[in-house]
Amino acid sequence: MRPTDRRDVIVDLVREHERVTVDFLAHQLTTSCETIRRDLTELAARGLIRKFHGGATLPDLAGIGLKAEGSFQARMQENLREKRAIGRRAAALFSPGDTLFIDTGTTTVIFAEELARLSRLTVITNSLSIAQTIARGEGNRAFLLGGEYSDDASENLGTLAVEQVSRFHATYAVLTVGAIEPDGILDYNLNEAEIARAMVSQSRHVTVLADSAKFGRSALFQICPLGAIDRLVVNGAPEGAMAEALRTAEVEVVADGIVKIA
Amino acid present at 253: V
Answer yes or no: are the C-beta atoms of 100 and 173 closer than 8 Å.
yes
Phi, psi angles (nearest 5°) of residue 215: -70, 130
d(CA 212, CA 232): 11
Per DSSP, the chain holds a count of helices (H) and strands (E) of: 10, 16
At 62 the pLDDT is: 37
At 78 the pLDDT is: 63
pLDDT confidence tier of residue 260, bands split at 50, 70 and 90: low
Find, among 165, 175, 161, 172, the residue nearest to 232 by Cα: 175
Residue 259 has pLDDT above 80, yes or no: no
Coil, helix or strand at residue 6: helix
Cα 94 from chain centre? 14
At 64 the pLDDT is: 40
Average pLDDT over residues 214-224: 86
DSSP conformation class of 138: T
Of the two residues 3 and 59, the one the predictor is more confident about is 3
Which residues partner with 252 through β-bridges? 231, 260
Topology match between the domains 3-57 and 71-260 = no
Coil, helix or strand at residue 134: helix
At 25 the pLDDT is: 95
Q: What is the pLDDT of residues 55-94, one digit of tens each?
A: 998 765 334 443 333 356 555 556 677 888 999 999 999 9
* pTM for this entry: 0.72
At 65 the pLDDT is: 41
At 258 the pLDDT is: 52
Q: What is the pLDDT of residues 200-210, one digit of tens each?
A: 999 999 999 99
Average pLDDT over residues 235-240: 86
Q: What is the pLDDT of residues 8-49, one digit of tens each?
A: 889 888 877 778 999 999 999 999 999 999 999 988 887 778
Residue ranges per structural domain of the chain: 3-57, 71-260
Answer yes or no: are the C-beta atoms of 141 and 121 closer than 8 Å.
yes
DSSP conformation class of 214: G
Contacts of 252 (CB under 8 A, 6+ apart): 230, 231, 232, 258, 259, 260, 261
Percent of the chain with pLDDT over 90: 61
d(CA 46, CA 41): 9
d(CA 235, CA 11): 19
At 77 the pLDDT is: 55
Tell me the DSSP string of 133-196. Answer: HHHTSTT-EEEEPPSEEETTTTEEESHHHHHHHTT--EEEEEEE-SEEETTEEEES-HHHHHHH
At 63 the pLDDT is: 41
Average pLDDT over residues 176-180: 91
CATH number of 71-260: 3.40.50.1360
Considering the chain, what is the average pLDDT of its residues? 87
At 72 the pLDDT is: 61
Of the two residues 259 and 255, the one the predictor is more confident about is 255
Question: Helical H runs in 96-215?
Answer: 106-115, 128-135, 159-165, 190-201
Average pLDDT over residues 178-199: 93
At 96 the pLDDT is: 96
Domain 3-57 has CATH 1.10.10.10: yes
Residue 257 has pLDDT above 60, yes or no: no
At 147 the pLDDT is: 92
